[in-house]
Amino acid sequence: MPEEKLIHAAEQIKKDIKMALINRDMTQVELAELIGEGQQQLNRAIRGDTTPKSVAIRKKIYKVLNLE
């Protein structure tokens, strides 16, 4: 059950970020450049990776996209 909750939360975060990007007419590549991160690292963070680096990237994403 906890794993299912984690998967669901990761999917919701991904949806929220993707929708914010669409609403801003912005690509993941543009977002990566804007926050100074690599495209692969950004993609991992968006997909819900739980490493400290991905968490830090998501915080940057939330700030830039006003998802806080």
**Residue 27, by phi and psi: left (phi above 0), alpha (psi -120 to 50) or beta?**
beta
**CA 31 to chain CA centroid, nearest Å:** 10
Calpha distance 61→66 (Å, rounded)? 8
Q: What is the pTM of this model?
A: 0.89
The CATH fold of domain 2-65: 434 Repressor (Amino-terminal Domain) (1.10.260)
Task: Name residues whose C-beta falls within 8 Å of residue 34's C-beta, 6 or more positions apart in sequence.
Answer: 64
Residue type, 44: R
Question: Which residue ranges make up each domain of the chain?
Answer: 2-65
Q: pLDDT, tens digit, for every residue of 8-59?
A: 999 999 999 999 999 999 999 999 999 999 999 999 999 999 999 999 999 9
Alpha-carbon distance of 47 to 11, in angstroms, equals 7
